[in-house]
Amino acid sequence: MPCLEKAETHYAGINGRLNIGSRAYRSVLGHYYRLAIPANSKVLEVGCGDGSLLRALPNKEVTGIDISADQIAQAAKNVPHGRFLVGAGEAFLLPETFDVIIISDTLNFVADAQRVLEQALRVSHSRTRLIVNFHNTLWRPIRSISEGLGLVGSLPPSSWLSSGDVHNLMTLAGWDMINQNARILLPARIPLVSTVLNRWLAPLLPWLCMTIFQVARPAGKIALRHPSVSVLIPAKNEAGNISAVIPRTPPMGCWTEFIFVEGHSKDQTWEEIQKLVKQYPNYRIKIHKQTGKGKGNAVREVFALAEGEILMILDADLTMPPEELPKFYEAIANNQAELANGSRLVYPMEKHAMQFLNMCANKVFGLLFSWLLGQPFKDTLCGTKVLLRLDYQKLAANRNYFGDFDPFGDFDLLFGASKLNLKIVDIPIRYQERTYGTTNIHRWRHGWLLLKMLIFAAKRIKFIG
């Protein structure tokens, strides 16, 4: 193809001679990729150039492909532990799959962007993450002026795809986009100035940012067949609800186990839980007395006991009907979601199921989370959340990024899933009134705590630099 020949000719003989502007931009870009890619991932970069981006990553298993033999030779010198191959993004063949595939500032220069994305899909598995970044079209005149002044290197003819164009191409190529973020107002590291612009202002002015990042996963690839299920039931002062949990929960997967954790109740909750073991001798039932405090701690304690491939949290107040759990199961088992999040704000709810101010707060948090995580949410505080045990283990291993700051457990899962670039999907449910007891939530005290947690997480997810 003529455009491939032009690109190959353009990059031939560059041999690493980058000007100060290009070096500064690649340094900033590498910073964001280090934050996005787990250090133990097997990484492929399509259009790797001289390997600058792969050199910025701590990953040991890295592979780069580029159309320019000169660039590949330079990449091999820059990243001695990497593997580098000459080839076009539209036609490369590899007999393996990768955990993360990077296409950085490349789609605008290829002959067939859809074909490149299709080729990337061929070397993906069901848990692969594709990370693409490209320049905002608003920066096209700025780029032309900078190139004319010699501040940045020249580029071959480019397409200047919009974010909508790239999203559409991903869909056509078989990718499911997870989130989009705009980064970098100043493509250089200047003490204080770059921090103010890139960390604090860029998330508030996404339409002005230079670089757009999109993260996607393969669509339609199913990882598990008939996975087993662990239903985790945290219970505090729920004696009147315990007896209904098992008869109302449909069987799911190849087997279903129930794990009850009792959290320092003042009623007969523990005694009611113990009765279930005798009442249902043919069921898989585990019971546990919480040693710490708070629902978040209770959930984490029993997650360690779970053996099912899918983990489900079901609040013992049963305001989320257990009969609806199969919806969550199907979403995870069919790989439609990687974290299924209950949403109480879609269907009409019973009159006293949720107070008006609580509903308003839930809607506000939903809007804030949609902006913060780059994925749509209506209800972040529903107690029912479902994910694979393998994903939870990765989330738990990565928990020190945020710290153990969430006494409820909801934000811990949502923030952790976002950091791992998991696909989060709302599952609408019909929220019901309590039939026994009172809520353990204190509206004002816990609402203020939730807001502080949101601000803290924003510094670790959105305002990064």
Residue 32 CA to residue 423 CA, distance in Å, equals 20
Q: What is the mean pLDDT of residues 373-398?
A: 89
Pick the CATH number of 229-461 from 3.40.1440.60, 3.20.20.70, 3.90.550.10, 3.50.50.60: 3.90.550.10
Say if residue 405's pLDDT is above 80: no
Tokens of 354: 């949720």
Beta strands in 68-163 (DSSP E): 83-86, 98-104, 124-135
Mean pLDDT of 154-169: 87
Residue 313: the pLDDT is 96
Q: Look at residue 12 and tell me whether its pLDDT is greater than 80.
A: no
pLDDT in tens, 410-456: 888 998 999 999 999 999 998 888 767 666 655 566 667 778 878 88
240 pLDDT higher than 90: yes
Average pLDDT over residues 101-120: 96
Cα-Cα end-to-end distance for the chain: 40
Q: For position 25, what pLDDT does the model report?
A: 87
**Residues 398, 425 contacting (CB under 8 angstroms):** no
pLDDT of 440: 60
For residue 267, pLDDT over 90 is answered with yes
Q: Measured between alpha carbons, how far is residue 366 from residues 16, 249, 350, 369, 382 in Å?
A: 47, 28, 21, 5, 11
HSE value, Cβ hemisphere, 13 Å, CA-based, for 251: 7
Q: What value does the mean pLDDT take over residues 144-173?
A: 83
Cβ partners under 8 Å of residue 157, min gap 6: 3, 6, 109
Longest Cα pair distance anywhere in the chain, in angstroms? 80
What are the tokens at 339? 């974290």
Condensed to tens digits (0 to 9), the pLDDT of residues 203-228 reads 999 999 999 999 999 998 776 789 99
**Looking at residue 325, what is its pLDDT?**
98
Helices (H), 374-435: 389-397, 410-419
Choice between 150 and 281, residue whose per-residue pLDDT is larger: 281
Report the pLDDT value the prediction gives residue 211, as an integer from 0 to 100: 95
Cβ atoms 406, 452 nearer than 8 A: no
Residue 161 — pLDDT band, cuts 50, 70, 90? very high
217 phi and psi angles, rounded to 5 deg: -135, 160
Computed over every residue of the chain, the mean pLDDT equals 88
pLDDT tens digits for 443-460? 566 667 778 878 888 888
Instruction: Specify the range with the lowest mean pLDDT, choosing from 37-51, 75-89, 288-302, 370-384.
Output: 370-384
Are 6 and 157 spatial neighbours (Cβ–Cβ below 8 Å)? yes
**Of the candidates 210, 124, 120, the residue with the CA atom closest to the CA atom of residue 169:** 120
Residue showing tokens 């492929």: 44
pLDDT for 382 beyond 70:
yes
pLDDT above 90 as % of the chain? 63
Q: 465 pLDDT band (50/70/90 cuts)?
A: low
> Buried b / exposed e across 393-406, counting CB within 10 Å, b at 16+?
ebbeeebeebeeeb
**Average of per-residue pLDDT across 283-301:** 92
pLDDT at position 377, please?
80
Report DSSP state, residue 135.
E
Tokens 């280090």 map to which residue?
Answer: 34
Residue in 169, 12, 155 with CA at minimum distance from that of residue 90? 169
pLDDT at 70 over 80: yes
Token pair of 463 as six digits:
């305002």
Read off the pTM.
0.88
Residue 115 CA: distances (Å) to CA of 69, 94, 174, 342: 21, 15, 11, 37
Residue 3 has pLDDT above 60, yes or no: no
Q: Strands 339-343 and 385-388: what pairing?
A: antiparallel
Q: What percent of the chain has pLDDT over 70?
A: 88
d(CA 399, CA 410): 13
The CB density around residue 150, as the number of other CB atoms within 10 Å, is: 10
pLDDT at 439: 63
Distance of alpha carbon 428 from alpha carbon 377, whole angstroms: 11
At 373 the pLDDT is 86
CATH number for the domain formed by residue range(s) 2-218:
3.40.50.150
Of 64, 122, 119, 130, nearest in space to 97 by CA: 122
Q: Which two tokens stand for residue 401?
A: 């990024």
Domain ranges across the chain = 2-218, 229-461
Can you read off the two tokens belonging to residue 114? 């859809």
Residue 260: in which H helix or E strand, if any? strand 256-262
Q: Which two tokens stand for residue 457?
A: 């997480």
310 pLDDT above the threshold of 60:
yes
Cβ within 8 Å of residue 108, ≥6 positions away = 134, 135, 158, 159, 160, 161
Range of weakest confidence among 108-112, 151-155, 260-264, 396-400: 151-155
- What is the CA 140 to chain-centroid distance, rounded? 30
Quote the strand ranges of 369-434, DSSP E.
385-388, 424-428
- pLDDT tens for 14-36 read 555 566 667 788 888 999 999 99
217 neighbors 240 (Cβ within 8 angstroms): no
pLDDT (0 to 100) of residue 233: 96
Report, as an integer, the average pLDDT of 157-179: 94
**Tokens coding 90:** 């539209």
What mean pLDDT do residues 46-58 have?
96
Query: In this model, does residue 355 exceed pLDDT 70?
Result: no
Tokens representing 308 are 């099912």
Q: Tell me if 109 sits within 8 A of 156, measured CB to CB.
A: yes
132 beta partners: 103, 214
Residue 164 pLDDT exceeds 80:
yes
pLDDT at residue 13, as a whole number: 52
pLDDT level of residue 359 (50, 70, 90 thresholds)? confident
